[in-house]
Structure 1
Amino acid sequence: MEKLFLWPNEIPNGNKAKRASSQIIDPINKVTKLTEVTNPSMDVFKPDASVDNGIGIIICPGGAYSILAIDLEGHEIAQWLTTLGYTAYVLQYRVPDNQKGALNDLQRAIKIIRSDSKFNHAQLGLIGFSAGGNLCAYASISPSKDSYSGIDEMDSISGRPDFTLLIYPAYLDSGKNNTLSPDLFFDKNTPPIFIFGTNDDPHFNSSLIIAQALQESDASFELHTFQEGGHGYGLRHGNKAAEMWPILAERWLNKIKTPTK
């Protein structure tokens, strides 16, 4: 597994010195959590050459912008995506409590990947879970705009994803009376978006609200909902929603992806 750091020197909207990420293991839920990230990076997972489809996907774990569920919604997702032929990048964006910095990190990650000829992806998309879904939604607004001032030549590259998957996204309904967050904008040029959520998720309104906004904007999207599943299940077996969303997501990805390289 290769690790790529995002910022060579000073970090935009950074207020802490760079150091190794802090982590804890939740023995009850069996989740490894990064509790502080000050030097944002990506872990790169490559598929076998025999199945490589030439497409990359950046994974944004959730954790309420307080922690990152780095295995449940990061490395486990990457391992699944590589079996489908995708190169997966698990993003360690800044936590805790730096949503603007997290968006800086995601947009920078997109630019880094696109600037490196060794990756040469036909498409580069995003998949985010919970708060990570919120982050991916903000990176997918239209028209696309950078969240930080450029620091080098690669920042002239577009930070707009080619497609986005939002799995039980959260915090997209901060508008009046739980409507769409006022700084989210979509139109017919918005990248294709896949949304999955369950009725019993306390954040389910975010899935419904963004789907409505995409429909009203004539954007391309697909919404799937299940009655039960809750929140924060990743790919873990024993939860019907966790077992079904990957099947639906794979079908959607196959519909929108470009030819193999």
Structure 2
Amino acid sequence: MKWRTLVIVLMTVQIATFGQATDTLYIWPDKVPGEAVPKHSAVISSNNGGNTTRIAEVTNPVLVRFDPKPDVKNKGAFVVCPGGGYSILAIDKEGYEIAEWLTSIGYTAFVLQYRVPQKQAGALMDVQRSIRVVRSHASDWQLDKDRIGVMGFSAGGSLSSRASTLYSEQTYPAQDAIDTVSCKPDFTMLIYPAYLDKGENRSLTPELKVDKNTPPMFIFATADDPYSNSALVMATALRDAKVPVELHILPKGGHGYGLRKGSLAGETWPVLAEKWLKRTDK
């Protein structure tokens, strides 16, 4: 298989219980654009409260790929952006476990370890490059290049919203031929997104440029989530721009539940999201 200039390293990763992880791909072939710290392995936080593995520092972003079983594979794919306040990445609860669900319904999942802590500009470069990597190698992975979505949780929802509205911005110097490929997602799912209401009077964050070309979105949140206004303002902006949007708000559930059992919100959104995908991803 020819990978052109994309650097790919197969790694032994401790995610065997999460679906069928196949490989780990370093997305930047040489120096990471805009990164002052030399490349090194991701640093795992000592804080594993809530039965969650947290990545505390990323300087060399990677995509961890999960393949669905051949009998359910549907040629669609998602780049998954875990949350963590742009400070850490809740890599299992909002990454690998989400990939396991996506593969169960036929999607190839690419869990993104984007730059943290507090490297929002670098994180946007990472997600744009990741979408380009997936799209440019769609035929290698038996994917449809026009069915590449992005999905995010909390701060990952912020990053996914930025990817979905800032795809025309050239945020880093082109590295190779991959960067000639579009980084626009074909559809977007935001689960308890945060930081989308930084505008005046808690309106849409000015950075987010929603227009008629913004991809269709599925948005899920709960009313008692302190960040739930983000879901409301994004849904309003999409409606005003006549972009297809589906918004669900449950009364209770808080924030950061992933899809773990015991949370009504965590058990509800995957069912609704799968139905939305069946209607939207055709």
TM-score (norm 1): 0.96
Matched, 1:193 2:230: no
Alignment of 1:88-237 (within 5 A): 88-116=109-137, 117-122=139-144, 123-141=147-165, 144-237=168-261
Q: What's the counterpart of residue 99 of structure 2? A: 78
Distance 1:27 1:110, change over 3 A: closer
Q: What's the counterpart of residue 53 of structure 2? A: 32
Q: Deviations over 1:42-85 (max 9, x none)?
A: 00000011110011111000000000000000000001111101
Distance 1:115 1:17 in 2: 27
Aligned-pair distance for 1:145? 2.6
Distance 1:173 1:190 in 2: 17
Give ranges in structure 2 of 5+ residues lacking alignment.
1-21
| Conserved? CA contact 2:129–2:183, under 8 Å | yes
Secondary structure of 2:63 counterpart: strand
Give ranges in structure 1 of 5+ residues lacking alignment.
none
Distance 1:21 1:210, change over 3 A: same
Name the % identity: 50
Farther-moved stretch of structure 1 (136-145 vs 48-57) = 136-145
| Conserved? CA contact 1:143–1:190, under 8 Å | no
Aligned-pair distance for 1:143? 6.6
Aligned-pair RMSD on alpha carbons? 1.1
Aligned-pair distance for 1:28? 3.3
Secondary structure of 1:125 counterpart: strand
TM-score (norm 2): 0.89
Aligned-pair distance for 1:153? 1.1
Q: How many residues align?
A: 258
Distance 1:216 1:250 in 2: 25
Aligned-pair distance for 1:99? 0.4
The runs of at least 4 aligned residues of structure 1 exceeding 6 Å deviation read: none
